[in-house]
Structure 1
Amino acid sequence: MDFAENILKKNTPTWFNLSFDIFVCIISIITAYFLRFNFHIPEKDLNALPSVIIYVAIIRGITFIIGRTHAVIFRYTSTNDALRIFFVIFIGSIIFGVVNLVSYKYTKVFIIPMSIIIIDFIVSLLGLLSIRVFVKIMYLQFDNPDRKKLNVILYGAGKIGVLTKKALERDAGIKYNIISFIDDSPNKIGKILEDIKILDTKNIDSILKANQPDQLIISSQSLNPSNKKIIIEACIANNINILTVPPVSSWINGELSYKQFKQIKIEDVLEREEIKLNEDIIRKVITGKRILITGAAGSIGSELTKQVIKFSPSLLILLDQAETPLYILELELEKLSFYKKFEIVVASLNNKEKLESVFETFKPEIVFHAAAYKHVPMMEKHPDEAVMVNIVGTMNIADLSNKYNVFKFVMVSTDKAVNPTNIMGATKRLAEMYIQSFNSCSKTSFITTRFGNVLGSNGSVIPLFKKQIESGGPITITHPDVTRFFMTIPEASQLVLQAGSMGNGGEIFIFDMGKSVKIIDLAKKMIKLYGLEIGKDIQIVFTGLRAGEKLYEELLADSENTVKTDNSDIMIAKVIEYDFDYLSKEINELIGLINTFDNTQIVKKIKEIVPEFKSKNSIFAKLDD
């Protein structure tokens, strides 16, 4: 065994490969004679056989040298190498045939009978390819005899599924036993693909329990979110590792390798059906326009940037005060070959002179206002900053939009603005109120979009849980019953774009957030996706609700209801509208309190303007008595 392993691992010299190939061809021509004459070679042909063997060896040797088939390392033989061998053998056989015709013309004798040339071609080709395949298989077997063996199920019995299987077979580090393919196509279920049976996705639970695979790999590129969720949930329940095959466009040099497979993400568990956008409406509003995005370096702002670019604005002005994320965004955009019309602006929302310079210089026609302070506990400690950014910053951008005749102003708000229990939510609600009231006395159409938590956004729960899991835990959750609505960053950005395009002004659009998710369930699924056991590998610790935190979020206040739109994912909230002059007077009084640094008075004034603001788990709850 050790001797065979050592031989297989060595690179044999090219002269040895050439000699071996010629030897195979000699055996092949002898075999062809035996087969042609039914193992009873006539004496005349038997006497000529030594000369024929020398003749065949010379011709084959020359064609091998020209075709360089001997220069290939046998254990790495590829499809291209096999094709090269086919052509070299074919050309050699053609030479035998041509020489035969010339010989017959002058001597009336064939050097090699024509039928033997055909048999020799087949036997030589099979012999050379079989030897190489055998060496390759034996090498893969001996290369790592102790390599880990994994049982795998492949989802997707199509072309990508077959390529996935071949990628697994090429992986030298692990030996994979493909148990089965699973698919939801009735035309494929029960059939055999690559010697492996195709099973029905509907029976996923029983398939997993019966086979107990180590991994399930999703190779299908067209799996809808609902089916994907069923498969992932079943794997999580059975402690099975889940991998996905990346899109074909990201394969290196068009070839798939095991190293490109990705671990499933928690976002995939929460993924929903693809949002259907009315791109014609968006195109009419965005294409050829000058667009300003505030908070452009943030999670929503940067995704909005990517979505807006698809509709070819004449200019994209990207404004943020966070220089490093803005620089990273700039580097990403510079890589784009199809869009170069953007300007990067570092500015604070409170620097109105700088903002006016931006409006005067670039004259934006549409504004997407995504800049805001969003962290609840932080804003409980710094209500003055929440007022300055979420309220005053919004007013500055809105006032300049009105002054410079911006066509549409679209503000990104939050579900925390509904029946707010914290300063962040209350300041965002005040910004909503200002924007909506301003619409009644401005040529600019002021529109608000309101949605819940965004998966994977900066500072959100999922990146926090990932960090805690990777550091060994524990995972910290404020309360076992806390729930949240979730939406992916692309989903949120697309809906902001859609709502902003369809809005006429004065609307507060809310999005279909699906079902709320218990945070503890989210944490448990993430732990299992990492292949860990709760209570054994990692602990979950409850820390108590933070200042201003709710057990559950709402998209509508008690006094609000909704009106449907043409898009089933978007509704209009019918809310109380405020007089612009009254609201401006109240907000200016609030702003006047900022320089006193008296947080109690600042929060008290916010509560006067937003009467539904009732603090929870906060030192400011005493102001509600």
Structure 2
Amino acid sequence: MTRFLSLTRFQKQCIAVSADLFFLPFMFLTALWMRFDVVDYLLIKQFGVLIIAAPLIAIPIFIRLGLYRAVIRFVDQKIVFVVVYGVTLTVFVLLALAVFLHVGILSRAVFGIFGISAVMYMLASRFMARAYLLQLSNNDNAIRVAIYGAGHTGAHIATAFNASHDYIPMFLIDDKKELQGATIAGIRVYPSTDLPELIAKNRVQEIHLVMPSTPKKTQSVILNRLEKLRVKVRITPPIRDLLNGELTVKDLREIEIEDLLGRDSVEPNHALIAACIADKIVLVSGAGGSIGSELCRQILLQKPTRLILLDTSEFALYTIEKELASLKTSHALSTQIMPFLVSVLETEKCQQILSTFNVQTVYHAAAFKHVPLVEQNPIEGIRNNVFGTLSIAKASMHAGVANFVLISTDKAVRPTNVMGATKRLAELVLQGLSAQKTVDQIAVTQKSNTRFCMVRFGNVLGSSGSVVPLFRQQIMAGGPITLTHPDITRYFMTIPEAAQLVLQAGSMGAGGDVFVLDMGEPVKILDLAERMVHLSGLSLTSESSESNAIEIQHVGLRPGEKLFEELLIGDNVDGTEHPLIMRAEESMIAWPVLQVLLDKLDIACRNFAYEKVRELLLEAVKEYQPQCGIEDMIWHEEKKRPLYENGKHVNDRKLH
């Protein structure tokens, strides 16, 4: 019988028409039998014309109404209206024919009985065929799923699953009492309290959370309950992603950390976002990075005159330019997108770009941010994060840029690693320049009105090096999950939300401001790992001896890594006009003093004097408390060599 599924659409339509051609006269005979309690030759002879006319009238009507165009496996409650309407028209036409031919006029009840019988046949035949065809098309390896959410989207997903070869919907779950006990898309709705019993009884393999309009906080509470069931959970995207009505089974995704955080974004202040961007010329450094690229996307939608992209990675720059060009076309924007393959350390080139195109706002996102890599390459980290910031800041001042926003990090607060220390020193550079309001270049002092500010926040989800995709890969591979320390905690925020807040914070303040984003509650990474395992339908080795149980291994903190991150150095913090943005009042170094330190640090970096570099970092960033020694691999290798060769000190150049 599975051959039926391989028939052409026209062949299936012919079968449906043939069935109606046979059964509709039979329904008329049934009506005669129910009216007269007998069907004999005389009765058939009397109503013969109407018996033959019934399918000949009904089938053209149903063709016109599109009944035979409907795919049986996809039919739903809408077919009821089509059938009732079509049968009603058929009955009226038969009555008109009976009047015209003077046939059976005194037995009008026959027509009513035929109408009811025909409706019952048409509906029963379609739904029975639908159930049978779905059973034929079911894949033996199809996943048995429960759908959490019996609203409009849940019904849509249930219908899609019914027609899918990959999923078998077993039941619907909803917390609304008015829906419990109902049947939607042929599937019964149960309360969530019945889940444990239903999962065991129906051997459910996955739960699909289909509540796109539900607040994140409510979804997080539901996920907390589902976690205990040890069943894999998937979730629909937010309601804004479904507005085009193009939701498919493929749109159901894995649980992301933002689902677990239960953090609902705050409506942005569009006036703040547009203040430094709309109808202006904007430059983004590090435009191809995680934060930089999202800044570019959101900036473009604010309709700047020009959007200038700076990056040292050819591939990253090509990728973001191509994406922005597509976004520009789809939104019919006139913004000119200009990519430049250049390092922020190239002060003259940056100044030429800034001056030539009269840039008004700079978002400086270019930085080395991976803690272990910067720890092993401290001089490169200092050059890029500190002197790169100084370079493009000076270029901005000379070019008369109005607004300069530095993307900073929570690792700049009481840093324990080189990366955090360099980001704090970058903040100090901008604070010093802002207070000084002058910049020296070849004995020429030029006044500047550039307004500097810094925006500091924690980990962003989905950035390169994020722990979430790493954990997912490790779970899919069967483990183990590698965790640095059982007590390590981090703040998390989505990239779009962070970028949105950066754009708003950049419009605040008078200069030299350090803005801190409200990151919500810190997340214990061990709890995050355990929840990801449970919501993948698996168990931990500490809970189960099953062969597919996932082990969590503690591998120890990496060089310079902190257990806890902070966002404030002191307690002096004020609110702003945005509820998630705070202004921190923090210590700074006078520019003349800082300039001397920077000159010494530059010389030490050029001479690869690692000990001197560490010493100067400690002097410049008072809160810097390194948790490890110098990790640079060249320095370690040179330490293994003899101190003297041929009577000369091999490390003589590094002693100054």
- TM-score (ref. length: structure 1): 0.87
- Per the alignment, residue 161 of structure 1 pairs with 154
CA contact (8 A) 1:295 1:320 kept: yes
Q: Tell me the CA shift for residue 33 of structure 1.
A: 2.8
Is 2:375 aligned against 1:375? no
2:505 pairs with one of 476, 492, 499 = 499
Is 2:31 aligned against 1:19? no
What letter is aligned with 1:139?
L
Q: Secondary structure at the match of 1:619?
A: coil
CA distance, structure 1, for counterparts of residue 5 and residue 344 of structure 2? 69
Is 2:452 aligned against 1:446? yes
Is 2:130 aligned against 1:136? yes
Residue deviations 1:440-480, cap 9 Å, x none?
Answer: 22411110111112222112222332333334433222222
Q: Tell me the CA shift for residue 209 of structure 1.
A: 3.9
Written as runs of structure 1 = structure 2, the 5 A alignment for 1:105-504 is 115-144=109-138, 146=140, 148=142, 150=144, 152-154=146-148, 156-178=149-171, 180-183=173-176, 188=178, 192=182, 194=184, 196-197=188-189, 199=191, 206-212=193-199, 214-247=205-238, 254=245, 256-336=247-327, 337-338=330-331, 339-341=333-335, 342-440=337-435, 441=437, 442-504=448-510
Residue deviations 1:88-146, cap 9 Å, x none?
Answer: 55554454344445446xxxx66796554454344323322321221111222344384
Is 2:606 aligned against 1:595? yes
Written as runs of structure 1 = structure 2, the 5 A alignment for 1:567-582 is 567-582=578-593
Is 2:625 aligned against 1:614? yes
Q: Tell me the CA shift for residue 587 of structure 1.
A: 0.8
CA distance, structure 2, for counterparts of residue 335 and residue 488 of structure 1? 23
2:37 pairs with one of 28, 36, 39 = 39
Residue deviations 1:382-415, cap 9 Å, x none?
Answer: 2221121111110111112211222211111111
CA contact (8 A) 2:276 2:403 kept: no
CA contact (8 A) 2:233 2:536 kept: no
CA contact (8 A) 1:17 1:71 kept: no
Residue deviations 1:1-52, cap 9 Å, x none?
Answer: xxx77778767666554332111121122223334x3536799755412343
CA contact (8 A) 2:145 2:167 kept: no
CA distance, structure 2, for counterparts of residue 283 and residue 252 of structure 1? 25
- Per the alignment, residue 549 of structure 1 pairs with 561
Q: Tell me the CA shift for residue 539 of structure 1.
A: 2.6
What letter is aligned with 2:433?
F
CA distance, structure 1, for counterparts of residue 152 and residue 368 of structure 2? 48
What letter is aligned with 2:372?
P
Structure 1, 91-100 or 300-309: larger mean CA deviation: 91-100
What letter is aligned with 1:567?
H
CA contact (8 A) 2:232 2:538 kept: no
Q: Secondary structure at the match of 2:507?
A: helix
What letter is aligned with 1:50?
G
CA distance, structure 1, for counterparts of residue 429 and residue 455 of structure 2? 14
CA contact (8 A) 1:390 1:431 kept: yes
Query: Structure 1: any 5+ residue segments left out of the alignment?
Result: none
Q: Secondary structure at the match of 2:174?
A: strand
What letter is aligned with 1:516?
P
CA distance, structure 2, for counterparts of residue 94 and residue 86 of structure 1? 12
Q: How has the CA–CA distance of structure 1 residues 39 and 364 changed in structure 2, closer, same or farther, with 3 Å as cutoff?
A: same
Q: How many equivalent residue pairs? A: 604
What letter is aligned with 2:510?
N
Q: Secondary structure at the match of 1:335?
A: helix
CA distance, structure 2, for counterparts of residue 158 and residue 466 of structure 1? 30
CA distance, structure 2, for counterparts of residue 73 and residue 614 of structure 1? 69
What letter is aligned with 1:549?
E
Q: Tell me the CA shift for residue 377 of structure 1.
A: 1.6
Q: Secondary structure at the match of 1:502?
A: coil
Q: How has the CA–CA distance of structure 1 residues 258 and 72 changed in structure 2, closer, same or farther, with 3 Å as cutoff?
A: closer
Q: Secondary structure at the match of 1:318?
A: strand
Structure 1, 483-492 or 385-394: larger mean CA deviation: 483-492
CA contact (8 A) 2:415 2:626 kept: yes
Q: How has the CA–CA distance of structure 1 residues 147 and 10 changed in structure 2, closer, same or farther, with 3 Å as cutoff?
A: farther
CA distance, structure 1, for counterparts of residue 566 and residue 55 of structure 2? 84
Q: How has the CA–CA distance of structure 1 residues 249 and 119 changed in structure 2, closer, same or farther, with 3 Å as cutoff?
A: farther
CA contact (8 A) 1:366 1:406 kept: yes
Q: Tell me the CA shift for residue 307 of structure 1.
A: 2.1
CA distance, structure 2, for counterparts of residue 472 and residue 391 of structure 1? 41
Q: Tell me the CA shift for residue 521 of structure 1.
A: 2.0
Q: How has the CA–CA distance of structure 1 residues 599 and 138 changed in structure 2, closer, same or farther, with 3 Å as cutoff?
A: same
Q: Tell me the CA shift for residue 496 of structure 1.
A: 1.1
CA contact (8 A) 1:372 1:390 kept: yes
CA contact (8 A) 2:230 2:536 kept: no
Q: How has the CA–CA distance of structure 1 residues 14 and 411 changed in structure 2, closer, same or farther, with 3 Å as cutoff?
A: closer
What letter is aligned with 2:18?
S
Q: How has the CA–CA distance of structure 1 residues 69 and 367 changed in structure 2, closer, same or farther, with 3 Å as cutoff?
A: closer
CA distance, structure 2, for counterparts of residue 169 and residue 549 of structure 1? 50
What letter is aligned with 1:137?
A
Q: How has the CA–CA distance of structure 1 residues 577 and 76 changed in structure 2, closer, same or farther, with 3 Å as cutoff?
A: closer
Residue deviations 1:583-603, cap 9 Å, x none?
Answer: 122212211222212222222
Q: Tell me the CA shift for residue 328 of structure 1.
A: 1.4
Percent sequence identity over aligned pairs: 34
CA distance, structure 1, for counterparts of residue 586 and residue 378 of structure 2? 25
CA contact (8 A) 2:233 2:537 kept: no
Q: Secondary structure at the match of 1:530?
A: coil
Structure 1, 61-70 or 527-536: larger mean CA deviation: 61-70
- Per the alignment, residue 653 of structure 2 pairs with none
CA distance, structure 2, for counterparts of residue 531 and residue 141 of structure 1? 26
CA distance, structure 2, for counterparts of residue 219 and residue 73 of structure 1? 25
Q: Tell me the CA shift for residue 306 of structure 1.
A: 2.0
CA distance, structure 1, for counterparts of residue 583 and residue 32 of structure 2? 87
Q: Secondary structure at the match of 1:182?
A: coil
Q: How has the CA–CA distance of structure 1 residues 170 and 251 changed in structure 2, closer, same or farther, with 3 Å as cutoff?
A: farther
- Per the alignment, residue 46 of structure 2 pairs with 48
CA contact (8 A) 1:294 1:371 kept: yes
CA distance, structure 2, for counterparts of residue 13 and residue 601 of structure 1? 83
CA distance, structure 1, for counterparts of residue 616 and residue 55 of structure 2? 100
What letter is aligned with 1:568?
P
Q: Secondary structure at the match of 2:582?
A: strand
Q: Tell me the CA shift for residue 220 of structure 1.
A: 1.7
Query: Structure 2: any 5+ residue segments left out of the alignment?
Result: 438-447, 542-546, 637-656
Residue deviations 1:514-538, cap 9 Å, x none?
Answer: 2222222222222333333323543
Q: Secondary structure at the match of 2:405?
A: strand
- Per the alignment, residue 524 of structure 2 pairs with 518
Residue deviations 1:316-367, cap 9 Å, x none?
Answer: 1121112212211122112222235122222111112221221022211111
CA contact (8 A) 2:162 2:169 kept: yes
CA contact (8 A) 1:380 1:424 kept: yes
CA distance, structure 2, for counterparts of residue 478 and residue 604 of structure 1? 28
Q: How has the CA–CA distance of structure 1 residues 550 and 42 changed in structure 2, closer, same or farther, with 3 Å as cutoff?
A: closer
CA distance, structure 1, for counterparts of residue 5 and residue 363 of structure 2? 64
Q: How has the CA–CA distance of structure 1 residues 429 and 44 changed in structure 2, closer, same or farther, with 3 Å as cutoff?
A: same
Q: Secondary structure at the match of 2:28?
A: helix
What letter is aligned with 1:286?
I
